[in-house]
Chain A
């Protein structure tokens, strides 16, 4: 059975997983040798590289399957590597190469015991992620999924002397488990529909059965909830902004860059692969939910002052856009508009990859800032571009990418998404025709807000004057960190400048989910351009844009040096003629977010403390809270505690009562037995 189709790429990925497991075990042995521990991360990075190459090869190979010789009775473990999984294998491989390298340098200041613990958990997490992608039956999938949840939980609370970290970790764990329960139910329904007993847990068997629309919709709803808890769709997003800031930066990068994407992978797997005949209203649900999530994330991230919270809300925003893309794909697919479905799916996958790369870059960058300054609050940073030129330059690329401006990568997926919205005009239902294109406006609003957020993030932390004296001693990132950042920044540039090549990476996956014909004729192009086929003649050539930008700027610099050689003189800032100018007079993060708080006031739960006119030591403070926390989470907590009070009523302290319960249960069961 093993040698059935099993071929190279799958073996390679398994080898990578094995490497990670070995490294995790080795961390126990090396727990007192800091240098060796850090070398483990370099080894992990090599494993990731192996994973990446396997993924790249698997993209263009036929799907390979493997059945392991062990497993449950009657259910041997099934593994596979098909093009859809391969896309995520590439995503995970590439980002984790950089993250591991970064971590090798980043952890040099941490206490050794801490590093040892982290090394074990981190590599276990990598192996679990790899196994989730390779799983070809529900059992392996869920085991890997749970391992992933636990190991990431341990990493989040690795700073466990912080109360915040423990609370955030608990919230994460509870959300994950609620999600996992939903997933078990979803897979259970799928399995029971196959009527194949335990063998029905294998994905290929599930794929071969067709469910009734009601059953399929139930599975869809459970899947959306279960994977939504991982990905952070509204209203299951609450753990994200709590867990990201407290986790060590490489872990935040892994959470945001890879773990959230596994929710997306799962959703694609369930809705388009296992259920293969989606209903149109699923698309609408995901579209509306996605756009709401995106808008929510964008508005909230603009109001944050903690740089890692800001980025994690921005992750919510991007996940929302990706979900909207899936919704659009499903909508097109349900109406058999294959080429548009293919386009929307390309946009979705493209944005997923983009977000993984630029968000990992940004989170790692915050790690470098955190190390250099020990400060997460944007309002206490500033002027770091002078002290940390490398990080500043690389994060500028990341910021442009996250803001979605050409010629960087965020723009390409946004462009594809907008093009697919523009195609959404020939549904058989006139309501859909009129309402769906409006989604494009929401996408652009979100992109505009993202640009706002990125200007805030970059401008306040790197530009301006240092807001605290301690910042003048900040040091640039070391060589390992620099390499990690450099890799990711190069990824941003590559994905932005060569869209046609990138799209080719997704073509096999699109062929798998939508159909080979649609995948072939959706997008074309060569190195220079990315062109939509047939229906529209739109064209985007990022290399030309960048080339023209560079050429014109260089010419201008050259000409002006020649024609207007006036000397450059440094002096104090003009500042409108005001002489007094201190670092405290710059906009703080709060100040920069003020227009957002004003324009979107009704979205926030806001408390503002304004000083009275005559106060000698005026204090201004504003606190922004998530209204959904109060609307959804706290009522749940309250009702659970009320429920437990009722349960407590059943508990009397005498043992006779308990015996009575047992006795009564027995009697009732006997009565009920026919």
Chain B
């Protein structure tokens, strides 16, 4: 196996590992750090793919991803956390071991579901598709079980990471325009959500989503 493919596989594995760590982590600041780490791994893996397939455009994509996900969005989120005074997430809807076990089952499912799809793709390195799919599912799981708005947003952001990862690992890069579009969407999304958080808090005195449910009743 060529070295670059090995490194991609390794990065894919680390990507998934961080996804798992996010599922288990309760502290919001650490969650943001993990998100930044995941972004960094994503950028590195794009660089590796770019190097391996000689697509210079991917370097630009990597730089963009790195800038956005390692520096800008985490910085915004840190500011939000500080301004909103959040440290801990409330308890999850499920206990952490149960949650991780569910994540594990999702993984087995995703890996097996990806096998036939990945073989259709026919690129050099289709193994990582299963990992990308698993990360997307893990992020969705995280969004489901978390109880505060900010952690759900982090789940959403990590989901987006997973999609970009799937794109680069399976098809070796999307057209630049799409990628730029997604990046723009994400950053605008984060800004809007930031504004929303303040409104939500002013309205309900909390970012706890379980309270919203109670207000509806």
Contact = CB atoms under 8 A, between A and B. Distances in A.
Interface in B11-52: none
Contacts of B111: 430, 434
Interface of B: 108, 111-112, 115
A558 interface: no
A201 to B, nearest CB: 45
9 contacts: A430-B111, A430-B112, A430-B115, A431-B108, A431-B112, A434-B108, A434-B111, A434-B112, A435-B108
Contacts of B108: 431, 434-435
A630 to B, nearest CB: 22
A441 B138 CA distance: 22
Nearest to B97: A599
Interface of A: 430-431, 434-435
A435 B108 CA distance: 8
Contacts of A430: 111-112, 115
A444 to B, nearest CB: 16
Nearest to A433: B112
Contacts of A431: 108, 112
Nearest to A435: B108
Contacts of B115: 430
Contacts of A434: 108, 111-112
Interface centre among B108, B111, B115 (most CB of A within 10 A): B108
A435 B105 CA distance: 9
Q: Which 6 interchain pairs have the tightest Cβ spacing? A: A434-B108, A430-B112, A431-B112, A430-B115, A435-B108, A434-B111
Secondary structure of the A side of the interface? helix
B16 to A, nearest CB: 14
A458 B111 CA distance: 45
Nearest to A429: B112
A299 B108 CA distance: 27
Contacts of A435: 108
A435 B111 CA distance: 12
B104 to A, nearest CB: 8
Given A430-B112, A430-B115, A435-B108, 6 more contacts: A430-B111, A431-B108, A431-B112, A434-B108, A434-B111, A434-B112
Nearest to A431: B112
B97 to A, nearest CB: 9
A384 to B, nearest CB: 38
Nearest to A438: B104
A96 to B, nearest CB: 43
Contacts of B112: 430-431, 434
A435 B112 CA distance: 11
Nearest to A601: B95
A431 B114 CA distance: 12
Nearest to A599: B97
A31 to B, nearest CB: 59
A186 B115 CA distance: 41
A434 B114 CA distance: 14
A212 to B, nearest CB: 30
A111 B112 CA distance: 66
B32 to A, nearest CB: 30
B33 to A, nearest CB: 29
B26 to A, nearest CB: 18
Nearest to B105: A435
A600 to B, nearest CB: 11
A483 B108 CA distance: 53
B94 to A, nearest CB: 11
A431 B108 CA distance: 7
A429 to B, nearest CB: 9
A434 B111 CA distance: 9
A458 to B, nearest CB: 29
A361 B87 CA distance: 55
A435 B115 CA distance: 16
A81 to B, nearest CB: 45
A430 B130 CA distance: 13
